[in-house]
A and B are shown apart, each in its own frame.
Chain A
Amino acid sequence: MTKQHPAWSPYDNNGGTCVAIAGADYCVTAADTRMSTGYSILSRDYSKIIKLADKCVMASSGFQADVKALQKLLAARHLIYQHQHNKQMSCPAMGQLLSNTLYYKRFFPYYSFNVLGGLDNEGKGCVYTYDAVGSYERVGYSSQGSGSTLIMPFLDNQLKSPSPLLLPAQDAVTPLSEAEAVDLVKTCFASATERDIYTGDKLEIVVLNKDGIHREYMELRKD
């Protein structure tokens, strides 16, 4: 057995920020494409968003090696699901699967902070937000990662959703149109990039609606 250095850690933080916004018939998921460690940039063009099913994408920040392992595991589970049921997994089902997968490693967690965006069975936008060990919630909008503390207050201000405790339960989706939501996401990231050193380079926006998946990119600050 080789002795391990006492300060060695199995985890690293590669930074990055993810945002997802659910609308009446669309879902916008976005993340920056910078991967960094400490004070250095590892890649300026690393996609944090992956398509898990036809109507479900996941954006993850945190430790990208764990994220990669998680993505592979989910893809394998999804393939088995397709063989057994002969259909694509729905977004709420994928949400539950992701939670279970994360909690399965409760005491040696995947160091990843995920948001899941997609369309539910009625075609409404849905966003699920997670912590590293699988606690999750369906919300109208969410942000995760290094710049989340900067973005969250602004999203609250613009998209204030009704309390989940209200009865009868109210819809959490935002009233914005798709184009407005995309603009809002762009502003969020432009602002976060100004102040968060781990967010930058390029913004990848994935829009899901009834027509399918549409990807677009915007340049961010590179310093």
Chain B
Amino acid sequence: MSNSAIDVPSRGGFSFDLCRRNDMLAKKGVNLPSFRKTGTTIVGLIFQDGVILGADTRATEGPIVCDKNCEKIHYMAPNIYCCGAGTAADTEAVTDMVSSQLQLHRYHTGRESRVVTALTLLKKHLFNYQGYVQAALVLGGVDCTGPHLHTIYPHGSTDTLPFATMGSGSLAAMAMFESKYKEGLTKDEGIQLVVDAICSGIFNDLGSGSNVDVCVITKGHKEYLRNHLLPNPRTFVNAKGYSFPKKTEVLLTKITPLRERVEVVEGGDAMEE
């Protein structure tokens, strides 16, 4: 890191310069940090006039829930959204990256993005990294060629399906879809089925939990229903609250006043001539 040019806002791409050191540390017995995963239930289905995506909102790190209300339905384009499962950082980064590429593409062509464009960009990236970028995605959207729903696996393979599930709760959710899905669902039926599938994941899979997020995309319109259903409120709160038997011993107090902010007045009184 002697070259200061390295610290200048970077050119993009991953940096591997700590890999050797980390390997050495791992061999010496330093335990590597664990990554945040979204052991997730994410689903999507095609209904009569568009696509509905759904997700739970739990993020886990091993057996501990580290975020009870995270967002797993990511924005890709105004008419395309994407649910992510796997390592949280990867799903976040990969969808952000592709959504910015789509935005640039829209500026360039002046047309609405197509779902296949997003699909190709995503699978190209994931295939390049041979599965090391651990993102399992459900991509859905409506473009000029109609509604589309795809699943993308971490290695870069893709499926095109009328209904799809991913993540640790995928089996529980798929069970609901397999038993109740039919072609030409109405919007309300579609939302209800997605909610049922997510709830089945939430309750039967320990990696999924908390609330239900739903996103409905139709031709020229979208509806993002954040926390559509809150099936898991906290069960007990002590009415009296708790006091602390032993007060904290304060060793030293230092008060630093915040710097006053300078008010800039635009177009104030003109200076005298």
| A and B directly contacting (CB within 8 A) | yes
Listed in ascending order, the chain A residues whose CB lies under 8 Å from chain B are 15, 36, 38-41, 146, 157-158, 160, 183-184, 186-187, 189-190, 193-198, 218-223
A151 to chain B, nearest CB (A): 13
Q: Which 7 A-B pairs have the closest CB atoms?
A: A223-B209, A190-B236, A197-B206, A186-B236, A39-B206, A223-B202, A39-B207
Tell me how far the C-beta of B188 lies from the nearest C-beta in chain A, rounded to whole angstroms: 24
Chain B residue contacts of A41, Cβ below 8 A:
204, 206
Q: Is B19 an interface residue (CB 8 A)?
A: no
Is B184 an interface position by the 8 A CB rule? Answer: no
Q: Which residue of B lies closest to A185 (CB)?
A: B236
Q: Main SS of the interface on chain B?
A: loop
* Among B60-68, B126-134, B154-162, B215-223, the stretch in contact with A: B60-68
Q: Cβ of B235 and Cβ of A190 under 8 Å apart?
A: yes
Complex: how many Å from CA A193 to CA B205? Answer: 15
Query: Is the contact region of chain A dominated by helix, strand, or loop, or is it mixed?
Result: mixed
> Interface stretch among B98-106, B237-245, B257-265?
B237-245
Query: In the assembled complex, which residues on chain A have CB atoms less than 8 Å from the CB atom of B234?
Result: 190, 194, 221
Q: Is the CB of A183 within 8 A of B238?
A: yes
Q: How far is the CA of A193 from the CA of B234 in the complex (A)?
A: 9
* A39-B168, A187-B238 known; A223 vs B245 contact (CB < 8 Å): no
CB of B232 within 8 Å of the partner chain: yes
Q: Mark B62-102, 1 if CB is under 8 A from A, else 0.
A: 01110010000000000000000000000000000000000
**In the complex the two chains form, what is the Cα distance from A146 to B231 in whole Å?**
24
* Residue ranges of B at the interface with A (Cβ–Cβ < 8 Å): 39, 58, 60, 63-65, 68, 168, 202-210, 231-232, 234-238, 242, 244-246
Which residues of chain B come closer than 8 Å to A220, judged between CB atoms?
Answer: 235
Question: Can you list 29 contacts pairing A with B, beta carbon distance less than 8 Å?
Answer: A38-B206, A39-B205, A40-B205, A41-B204, A146-B63, A158-B242, A158-B245, A183-B238, A187-B236, A187-B237, A187-B238, A189-B236, A193-B235, A194-B68, A194-B234, A195-B65, A197-B64, A197-B65, A197-B206, A197-B207, A197-B209, A198-B206, A218-B235, A219-B235, A221-B209, A222-B232, A223-B58, A223-B209, A223-B232
Residue of A nearest to B202 (CB): A223
Residues from chain B with a CB closer than 8 A to the CB of A186 are: 236, 238
Q: Are B203 and A222 in contact (CB under 8 A)?
A: yes
Residue of A nearest to B211 (CB): A223
In the complex formed, the residue of A with least CB distance to B210 is A223
